[in-house]
């Protein structure tokens, strides 16, 4: 599975607006190509900016029904990628 497949799974499942252009623009979101298969779903990486806060990086889980949950937030992309690669 790649990030395109993750986006389709979300759109067709329980998170249809997560990757919508309006949502991505509102949160100044970025989606990274890193994807890791784990039991019953996939981990992937995003980053967002809320208001005047600094950008933070999230490890997220998407289940096979398209539900997305935040697993962990990090201050750097490097730390988020390390989490993804070791879990």
Residue-wise pLDDT tens digits, 22-74: 999 999 999 999 999 998 999 999 999 988 899 999 999 999 999 999 999 99
d(CA 22, CA 35): 23
CB atoms within 10 A of CB 12: 11
pTM: 0.93
DSSP string, 44-82: EEEEE--TTSPPEEEEEEEETTS-EEEEEEESSHHHHHH
pLDDT at 87 over 70: no
pLDDT at residue 78, rounded to an integer: 97
């Amino acid at each position: 599975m790649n990030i395109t497949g993750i986006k389709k799974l979300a759109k067709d499942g329980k998170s249809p607006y997560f990757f919508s252009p309006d949502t991505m623009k509102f949160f100044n979101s970025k989606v990274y190509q890193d994807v890791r298969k784990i039991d019953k779903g996939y981990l992937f990486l995003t980053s967002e900016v809320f208001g005047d806060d600094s950008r933070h990086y999230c490890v997220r889980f998407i289940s096979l029904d398209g539900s997305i949950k935040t697993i962990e937030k990090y201050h750097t992309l490097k730390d988020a990628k390390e989490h993804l690669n070791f879990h």
